[in-house]
Structure 1
Amino acid sequence: MAAAVPDRIAALSAGRGLVFGCDYNPEQWDRSVWPEDVRLMKQAGIGLVAINIFGWSSINPAPDVWDFSALDEIIGLLHASGIRINLGTGTASPAPWVTARHPEMLPVGADGTVFQQGGRQGYCPSSPLFRAYAADVVTHVVERYGDHPAVSLWHVSNELGCHNALCYCDVSAEAFRVWLRERYDDIDALNRAWGTTFWSQRYSDFADVRPPAQALSLRNPGQMLDFQRFSSDEQLALYRAEAAILRERSSIAVTTNFMVTAHIRNLDYWTWAGDMDLIANDHYLDRRLDDARGELSFAADLTRGLAQGEPWLLMETSTGAVNWQPYNLAKAPGEMRRNIASHLARGADGICFFQWRASTQGAEKFHTALVPHAGEDSDQWREVVELGALIDRLGEVAGTRVAADAALFFSWESWWAAENEGRPSEALTYLGQVHAAHAALSDAGLTTDVVRPGADLEGYRLLIVPALHLISDADAAAIARAVEGGAVALITFFSGIVDEEDRVRTGGYPGAFRDLLGIRSEEFAPLRPGEVVTLTDGTTGTVWSERFAATDAEVIASFVDGPAAGGPAITRRTAGEGAAWFLSTQLSRADYAGLMTRIAAAAGVAREQGAGPDVEIVRRVGDTGSFLFVVNHGSTDAEVTASGHEFVTDAPATGIVPAGAVRIIKEDV
């Protein structure tokens, strides 16, 4: 990274500790509202404001026409009030005149549909025309504001790839071919990687390759995997192009807002993280999930992983309902505070909301904001002011790090490959398995770092490898070395099956982990929807079973019934100073937490007493002390064994966390 992350975030808070901020769209409001907005921001404790995110058509309303008067004015107002600015490059969506003049830059879907202007991100990410126009906008913005004392952070574009990550137009096709030539050098290497002898798909020239658009049958999985990689790289190239212009003319930190969340899967942020001066993420509760709160906790841990354990910035979240889900549910009283406490507990040093004032027009007019349609005389505004005061009291937490002895492996490439067409069961979803493992860790009172395959595993005593379908031999060997050195690993079904070219490892599943686990599987035995199997230890499983033999492993539990009845279900093998466990079914949530507790104890990893499915407990530690975050999502009071000063009540800790409450305790030494 270009600079130490804690220093970058500390600069955004003007030395006050944690950052409290928002996204502001003053162009949606009459100028007479702006001074009142700034006054209310000060009342709420807002210290960082993101502006000009969608500013293209305001500052560049027509070809060769530039108007910065409104932006100058709002920057002046914010600066005069001591509020720092996260300045957008304005390139998130092109002005209508751009695509009207150049319809050839519009994105194309897999079915050939040309997506017209009128929404956002209406451009092909590979379009040289779009990139040239965007570079011109960025140049004008940085030349005008690059030295402004209020500007503390550059915000490149916005949620890159949210809508247009995959484009199948002719420009994208040519860019894909260029990418493939650089990756494979010669066409024979591409043919080997994609296994093109299947279905007469062999290529004789790169010029014949196209993106894997909609087809009559199942498509080539190797081609689809590479197109995902290419598409992630193209979006990263957009970021790099804008960042290069900014860094040439400014010394201010540069970043963009990631979308580490359940419904965005097209960008491999492991390959992006090193380009960011600080890691920032947008996260909204996804009510379509069975466990939206658990997904939030996982996303926060993964964001911290991208930040290499350093503090990070929550760039966007909501006070209440969003506008883009089928059912946009309001948050319950106290739920916003619980959500924010989870992000802070898991490493965020800054909390920012979308948006400042709820819009009265446009697609997001029913998206909640810090200032709701009801105005100041509302429970929501009062809750915002209380949150701002709490964040101000938590200044000592800034710069501390989350304490974790466990590592949970996560890979976007494995996500893409595991959910490709023609897989053994559509009930098996990669993210579903990752979320289940993370929930089991949390329910067992265990905090985990989320790491990429190939990460440095020194210091981790517990390694969790859920459904890591795609992994290289080198990265699998690193896990084996960590186990032999004393770590305990839990590896679950569908892991290690294919290499980085999506080629199945022969000789028996689970491929790359077969020797470490001491097992050999001949056939997957996925379960039907709703089918439940019983294990000899009394636990139950769904989704998956497997017919395998324990060649050099102890059988911990076997299947009582189902397609693998009589065969092993859970095994353990000693390897060097450590041990490797294998789980071949999706245990119920309670059973999974029980297994995780057992394995963690074997690894010598202590659990947080009092944690469970409804009680989230995470500790942050640093030079300023040890801070215990307890979030009670349940309907009954919880008890924790901690003493010290409690920040929410601003009083000594009592050990009792009421139902629905948050307690943040600076622990006595």
Structure 2
Amino acid sequence: MTHTPAHPPPVHPLTALSHKLGSIAYGGDYNPEQWPRHVWQEDVRLMREAGVNLVTVGVFAWSRIQPRPGTYDFGLLDEVLDLLHAHGIAVDLATATAAPPPWFTHLHPDARPVTASGTRLAHGSRQVFCPSHPAYAEAADALVTALAERYADHPALVLWHVHNEFGNHNALCYCDVSAAAFRTWLGERYTTLDTLNEVWGTDFWGQRYGDWDEIEPPRDTTAFRNPGQDLDFRRFSSDALLARHRAEAALLRRLAPGIPLTTNHLGTLEKKVDAHSFAAECDLVSLDHYLPAADPDGHIDLALNADLARGMAAGRPWLLMEHSTSAVNWQPVNVAKQPGQMRRNSLTHLARGADGVLFFQWRQSRAGAEKWHSAMLPHGGTDTRIWKEVRGLGADLAALGEVTGTRVAADVALLFDWHNWWALEMEARPSGPMRYLDTVRDWYEALWRLNITCDVVAPGADLTSYKAVVAPNLYLLSDEHADALTRYVRDGGHLAVGCFSGVVDAGDRIRLGGYPGALREVLGLRVDEYLPLRPGDTVSLSDGSTAGQWAERVEPRGCTPVLRFANGPDGGPAPGGPALTRHAYGAGTSWYVATRASGATLRELVLRLGEEAGLRPVADVPDGVEAVRRSGPDGSYLFLVNHGEVPAKVLVEGTGLLDATAGGSFTEIPAGGVAVVLETSAGPRS
């Protein structure tokens, strides 16, 4: 009998790109149109000196490429791409559609976006267009076609960069063109007005529609907007931008087959678009991340976003398209990164699955709105701390080239959903101070501080391979996703759910019969009443800890209370009632937290959840040391990031790839340093 070997799995586009580059992708946005030609020669020389092998070109170059309607000038791009290729630097070519030129808005003033209050925005920034306007679609598609036809076979081109940060500035347009497109979208979604009226609950406040033409976007009005209308307008707006991504992607795939494409997401920085839907349309996932300067623990936010990127990539490698070498230009106080922080940030992204580390931008601008945004080559040139660190990072990445293609394994999934984010933070909710990201970060931090790696995924992701699932908040939960979570626990999974979850369906309609609606059975409880707290008020729990912002009057229906609100006035509006519960359901267990618990309480919950689910930390490390493991067929790589102010020692067998002295039984990581150890034998994995 002849054995036919199975076909090897296809190589992921980012892994193939790494092989082509010979190492980890390293570089950033390159904007030569901002500089005279003699500077370009210095740029490529310094790029090679720093180890740069990939740059993004043309992101905001539409006005250069098409200086007038119907007239294209490719001279600058031709010269730049040839120059980069001659120096061994590959190109991620942008479609340039994120910055329509002045002639476009001059010819089509009605294509400028309109705010909810009716103000039509002026030209003078980027993304000045209505996503639904046919004139923009025609102009953008013509530009993409021209670019693809000219550069599909250029040897420097290795990746297409569709648009840039979809919806960052213009996600919600309330103009009449958007209104018409919204009505079309609603007709496709609901088919009949009776269905729409039922989902939106339009009999409340006499809003029942008798004709599709009566429906408008949720513009500014006298009182609260209809929440169903508001939620659907956000969905429509995200889908309108997604339609533009699909249109550009279709042109690129037809005219330049074989060149992968991506678009850069903003992760938790961007509330307005559902990045999960865009990720599903890309050949590889890319992310922009910028540290919140006001947060001294911003590295935890960084890890969260890296795990979100990996979740959107379904565990495959992803590309860090943008981050900063130091300060940015757009936060209220643009705090500069301390020495070594840029290296730590970059290698943490790498640890969590990135196979490329890129920045905005290569050379710091001398004019324009982002001239105070740091870059790889600062205003001060090569005689600067940042430049020295950029060169050092290039050497580090070259030493870590063998890591490309390996993956991060996680036994925990944390559920993150833009639709839920939109719904939770709309008008007229029980607690305005309850913010979605605050809750997500509380739960994520508990996992991070215990060095338990998680994938941050959408509620519709396949959860069967995870030992545990945590859902910080599921205020909005569709029937499909509720059923999936119930099956997950019944079949042996371990689920932990945060407060105010399971409350409404996909149309933002309350699930009747008692809270938490779709999750009553799997959690084994009923909530009689939600009890939001006044700003600044706290409640005490039976273990002596405190909680804030929220409480619930919980009635056990099979669950076991693990923690209670304290008896007496310190226990808040539900004294003595359950605050943390556990429920055996089918072959699995579920946990519920009926308040916004402290970090210590959530860490204790994760520890108990981990004991039952068989979770283990990545490595036994001191406090302040972040540990992440990437694994592949040829070995495991333990990344150790020391966020502390003193050196730390970790017991690990292996060879240090960044520090020649690391290896053997112990690896010492200096304060603020990073070690990467090729393990002799992998220790416990998350």
Q: Do both proteins adopt the same fold according to a TM-score greater than 0.5, normalized to the shorter chain?
A: yes
One-letter code aligned to 1:217: A
* Residue from 521, 526, 544 that aligns with 1:538: 544
Return the offset for 1:640: 2.1
Which is further off, 258-267 or 485-494? 258-267
Paired residue for 1:644?
A: 654
Relative to structure 1, the CA distance from residue 476 to residue 639 in structure 2 (aligned partners, 3 Å threshold; closer, same or farther) is farther
Matched, 1:622 2:632: yes
* Residues 309-458 of structure 1 aligned to structure 2 (within 5 Å): 309-458=315-464
Paired residue for 2:4?
A: none
Paired residue for 2:669?
A: 657
Paired residue for 2:266?
A: 260
Matched, 1:187 2:190: no
One-letter code aligned to 2:592: F
Computed over aligned residues only, the root mean square deviation of the Cα atoms, in angstroms, reads: 1.5
* Residues 265-280 of structure 1 aligned to structure 2 (within 5 Å): 265-280=271-286
Return the offset for 1:559: 0.3
Return the offset for 1:445: 1.8
Return the offset for 1:641: 2.2
- Any idea what the Cα deviations from partners look like across 1:34-90, whole Å, max 9, x if unmatched? 011000000111111111111111111112222111111111110101111101112
* Residue from 441, 462, 472 that aligns with 2:468: 462
Quote the Cα distance in structure 2 between the aligned partners of 1:67 and 1:388: 34
Return the offset for 1:609: 4.1
Return the offset for 1:290: 6.4
User: 5+ residue gaps in structure 2?
Assistant: 1-8, 682-686
Paired residue for 2:589?
A: 579
Quote the Cα distance in structure 2 between the aligned partners of 1:328 and 1:259: 22
One-letter code aligned to 1:563: P
Return the offset for 1:343: 0.8
* Residues 509-520 of structure 1 aligned to structure 2 (within 5 Å): 509-520=515-526
One-letter code aligned to 2:471: V
* Residues 110-259 of structure 1 aligned to structure 2 (within 5 Å): 110-259=116-265
Do 2:60 and 2:98's aligned partners in 1 also have CA atoms closer than 8 Å? yes
- Any idea what the Cα deviations from partners look like across 1:524-550, whole Å, max 9, x if unmatched? 111222222111122221111111111
* Residues 27-106 of structure 1 aligned to structure 2 (within 5 Å): 27-106=33-112
One-letter code aligned to 1:94: P
Relative to structure 1, the CA distance from residue 591 to residue 613 in structure 2 (aligned partners, 3 Å threshold; closer, same or farther) is farther
Quote the Cα distance in structure 2 between the aligned partners of 1:5 and 1:119: 39
Do 2:274 and 2:419's aligned partners in 1 also have CA atoms closer than 8 Å? yes
SS class of match (2:163): coil
Do 2:267 and 2:308's aligned partners in 1 also have CA atoms closer than 8 Å? no
- Any idea what the Cα deviations from partners look like across 1:422-442, whole Å, max 9, x if unmatched? 111112111111111111011
- Any idea what the Cα deviations from partners look like across 1:611-642, whole Å, max 9, x if unmatched? 57632111111112111111111223333221
One-letter code aligned to 1:447: T
Quote the Cα distance in structure 2 between the aligned partners of 1:241 and 1:609: 45
Relative to structure 1, the CA distance from residue 291 to residue 193 in structure 2 (aligned partners, 3 Å threshold; closer, same or farther) is farther
Do 2:56 and 2:93's aligned partners in 1 also have CA atoms closer than 8 Å? yes
Return the offset for 1:576: 1.8
Quote the Cα distance in structure 2 between the aligned partners of 1:4 and 1:345: 23
Paired residue for 1:605?
A: 615
- Any idea what the Cα deviations from partners look like across 1:216-250, whole Å, max 9, x if unmatched? 21111100110011000000111111111111111
Quote the Cα distance in structure 2 between the aligned partners of 1:613 and 1:495: 32
Which is further off, 280-289 or 458-467? 280-289
Return the offset for 1:15: 4.8
Paired residue for 1:634?
A: 644
Matched, 1:300 2:306: yes
SS class of match (1:526): coil
Relative to structure 1, the CA distance from residue 461 to residue 12 in structure 2 (aligned partners, 3 Å threshold; closer, same or farther) is closer
User: 5+ residue gaps in structure 1?
Assistant: none
SS class of match (2:307): helix
* Residue from 534, 546, 567 that aligns with 2:577: 567
Relative to structure 1, the CA distance from residue 69 to residue 258 in structure 2 (aligned partners, 3 Å threshold; closer, same or farther) is closer
Do 1:159 and 1:256's aligned partners in 2 also have CA atoms closer than 8 Å? no
Quote the Cα distance in structure 2 between the aligned partners of 1:611 and 1:466: 26
Quote the Cα distance in structure 2 between the aligned partners of 1:244 and 1:474: 30
- Give TM-score, length-normalised by structure 1: 0.97
Return the offset for 1:258: 3.1
Do 1:632 and 1:657's aligned partners in 2 also have CA atoms closer than 8 Å? yes
One-letter code aligned to 2:555: A
Do 1:154 and 1:252's aligned partners in 2 also have CA atoms closer than 8 Å? no
Quote the Cα distance in structure 2 between the aligned partners of 1:387 and 1:662: 11
One-letter code aligned to 1:659: A
SS class of match (2:292): coil
Which is further off, 267-276 or 176-185? 267-276
SS class of match (1:643): strand
Quote the Cα distance in structure 2 between the aligned partners of 1:124 and 1:172: 7
* Residue from 505, 513, 522 that aligns with 2:511: 505
Do 2:630 and 2:636's aligned partners in 1 also have CA atoms closer than 8 Å? yes
Give the total of aligned pairs: 667
One-letter code aligned to 2:525: I
Do 1:13 and 1:48's aligned partners in 2 also have CA atoms closer than 8 Å? no
Quote the Cα distance in structure 1 between the aligned partners of 2:296 and 2:51: 34
Quote the Cα distance in structure 2 between the aligned partners of 1:652 and 1:153: 36
SS class of match (2:365): coil
State, as a whole percentage, how many aligned pairs show the same letter: 49
Do 1:574 and 1:580's aligned partners in 2 also have CA atoms closer than 8 Å? yes
- Any idea what the Cα deviations from partners look like across 1:286-341, whole Å, max 9, x if unmatched? 22456422111111111111101100001111100000111111001111111112
Do 2:447 and 2:453's aligned partners in 1 also have CA atoms closer than 8 Å? yes
Do 2:13 and 2:260's aligned partners in 1 also have CA atoms closer than 8 Å? no
SS class of match (1:641): strand
Relative to structure 1, the CA distance from residue 379 to residue 619 in structure 2 (aligned partners, 3 Å threshold; closer, same or farther) is same
Do 2:13 and 2:284's aligned partners in 1 also have CA atoms closer than 8 Å? no
Do 1:571 and 1:583's aligned partners in 2 also have CA atoms closer than 8 Å? yes
Do 2:655 and 2:662's aligned partners in 1 also have CA atoms closer than 8 Å? yes
Do 1:407 and 1:448's aligned partners in 2 also have CA atoms closer than 8 Å? yes
Relative to structure 1, the CA distance from residue 459 to residue 34 in structure 2 (aligned partners, 3 Å threshold; closer, same or farther) is same
Quote the Cα distance in structure 1 between the aligned partners of 2:409 and 2:61: 40
Quote the Cα distance in structure 1 between the aligned partners of 2:435 and 2:624: 24
